[in-house]
Structure 1
Amino acid sequence: MDGVRRVVDEMYVRVLADPELTHFFDGVPMEKLARMQTEFIASITSGDIQYTGADLTKVHAGRGITGVHFSKFCGHLTDALEANNVSSHAIDQVLGKLAMYSDKITGSSNVDG
């Protein structure tokens, strides 16, 4: 968990410095968010951790988060993972699992057809 928390903390430094993303976090208690994000990332990458935070769809509903915003967020996560010497294989695994939640964050459906 300590390693995941280091990555999350570094990621949020990058996210909050991004003019296209920072406004989403106005008034958000960042310590609590970082704890929940650490738990969430640990839960999707390990079967040992249970995410106990709020429902992702409810938390992100109506915030105007688009696929572009989600991609930028993932880019900052990637940069933070790389800065912490996480292997490219592990980064791909994290991003692949995170992508499964994009519709809950953006409110968009991923439906072919």
Structure 2
Amino acid sequence: MAETEQELLERLGGPVAVADLVKELYERVLADPFLAPFFENISMDRLQRMQYEFLVAALDGPVSYSGAELTAVHQGRGITDQHFAKFCGHFADALEAKGVASTDVNLVLSRLSMAKDKVVGTTNTDG
């Protein structure tokens, strides 16, 4: 793993800053009429806790993701590539609003992109 990726979580401000980013992310997502319907009747406290765990773990942090397998959680919800891209856009905006450098925003988004197939229900048929 490259040094830039090893230190990414620390450059974001560590796990505490990620918790703040998750709150900011969901404020943006819930204000978006394209994405908000996916979160109706959902425990936002639980969702934000799972998202926090997922992100810190994806950034090689000291937290393990304890939630359900991503494919099972998102299956049948009608989430498309466009929904995933919009969600990631809101996350990028939240990162930028916190002053995160564009190179680090791109590194974070590359980590998130590894979960895309599981979230939107597509599979990689090339291996």
TM-score, normalised to structure 1's length?
A: 0.94
Q: Deviations over 1:43-81 (max 9, x none)?
A: 001243211111100000000000000000000000001
Q: Which residue number in structure 2 is paired with residue 72 of structure 1?
A: 86
Q: Which residue number in structure 1 is paired with residue 16 of structure 2?
A: 2
Identity in percent: 50
Q: Of residues 50, 56, 60 in structure 2, which corresponds to 1:36?
A: 50
Show structure 1 runs of 4+ deviating over 3 A: none
Q: Which residue number in structure 2 is paired with residue 108 of structure 1?
A: 122
1:88 to 2:114 alignment = no
Mark the structure with the bigger radius of gyration.
2
1:15 to 2:29 alignment = yes
Aligned length: 112
1:109 CA drift (Å):
2.2
CA distance in 2, matches of 1:87, 1:110: 31
1:88 CA drift (Å):
1.3
CA distance in 2, matches of 1:14, 1:110: 30
Q: Which residue number in structure 1 is paired with residue 113 of structure 2?
A: 99
Matched AA of 1:10:
E
CA distance in 2, matches of 1:84, 1:31: 22
Q: Which ranges of structure 1 fall in alignment gaps of 5 or more residues?
A: none
1:20 CA drift (Å):
0.6
CA distance in 1, matches of 2:59, 2:80: 24
CA distance in 2, matches of 1:7, 1:47: 15
Q: Deviations over 1:16-65 (max 9, x none)?
A: 01111000000000011111101111100124321111110000000000
Measured on the aligned residues, the alpha-carbon RMSD in Å equals 1.1
